[in-house]
Amino acid sequence: MPHIVKSYDIELGRLEDGIARMGGLAESQLASALDALESRDSELAGRIMRSDAEVDSCEAFVNEQTIKVLALRAPVADDLRTVVGALKIAGEIERIADLAANAAKRSLVLNQLPPVAPMRSLVRLGRLALAMVKEVLDAYLGHDAERALALRDRDQELDDVYSALFREILTYMMEDPRTITPCTHLMFIAKNFERIGDHATNVAELTHFRVTGKAVTEQRTKKDVSSFIGAEPPTD
């Protein structure tokens, strides 16, 4: 909807730019974390951990900009959705960057221990999560509700791969208890990637709401069964 007040559009644009920049940083943090894991590059991992502050200051900018637009412009309807959505999306992206930084932090430990085989599957899982982050940022910036919603199926795929990896790591630890320490870190990194998929899906749902004005009502069917591993899942 075009506005009479032109500077208003500039402010909304600035908000969107803030999100785009945050998203780009988070995406690059995650891509670098995967490289650091794969190539056992502690120097790179250290850089990722230090650049987390940049994402935080980006989020602070989005928050301030949001409060400013709300206070000065009192937006309604579409614009109010955009502004409130930006605030929430910024929070989700901040968590994605945080989880990537934690994966980098754990890779520093892994580099001091002998390599373990499930690392290959872990990096594959991370690449699936990274593809979701890329996709949802494109959907958000392209105001594409359909494309955003399609992310939910990919999150299901990510959950399936995560559950399989969880079993793989568990088996590996049992077969060779000397791998317990590195494998534990692998499990937590895997969980980080699974959570990144959830946050990307949250951004997708917020994008859908922003574009269509309708909340996604159909409950997401959460099929991450890893919480049940080691026993039969309950039937209800």
Q: 118: which DSSP letter? A: T
Comparing CB distances to a second copy, the nearer of 70 and 131 is 70
**Do 194 and 224 touch, CB atoms closer than 8 A?**
yes
**Among 9, 78, 143, 227, contact with a second copy (rule: CB under 8 A):** 227
Number of residues that bind a second copy (CB under 8 A): 45
**Among 112, 114, 214, 221, contact with a second copy (rule: CB under 8 A):** 112
**Among 7, 78, 113, 146, contact with a second copy (rule: CB under 8 A):** 113
41 binds a second copy (CB under 8 A): no
Comparing CB distances to a second copy, the nearer of 23 and 202 is 202
Helix (H, G, I), strand (E, B) or coil at 220: coil
**Do 183 and 118 touch, CB atoms closer than 8 A?**
yes
Comparing CB distances to a second copy, the nearer of 4 and 235 is 235
**Do 203 and 89 touch, CB atoms closer than 8 A?**
yes
180 binds a second copy (CB under 8 A): yes
84 binds a second copy (CB under 8 A): yes
> What are the helix (H) ranges across 74-114?
77-110
Comparing CB distances to a second copy, the nearer of 28 and 111 is 111
Comparing CB distances to a second copy, the nearer of 20 and 225 is 225
Comparing CB distances to a second copy, the nearer of 87 and 133 is 87
- What is d(CA 151, CA 167) in angstroms, rounded to the nearest whole number? 25
Binding mask 88-107 for a second copy (x = CB under 8 A): x--x----------x--xx-
First to last CA, the chain: 46
Minimum separation from the CB atom of position 51 to a second copy (A) = 13
- CA–centroid distance for 64 within its chain: 22
Q: Which residues bind a second copy (CB under 8 A)?
A: 42, 46, 60, 66-67, 70-71, 74-77, 80-81, 84, 87-88, 91, 102, 105-106, 108-109, 112-113, 170, 173-174, 177, 180-182, 184-185, 187-188, 191, 215, 227-232, 234, 236
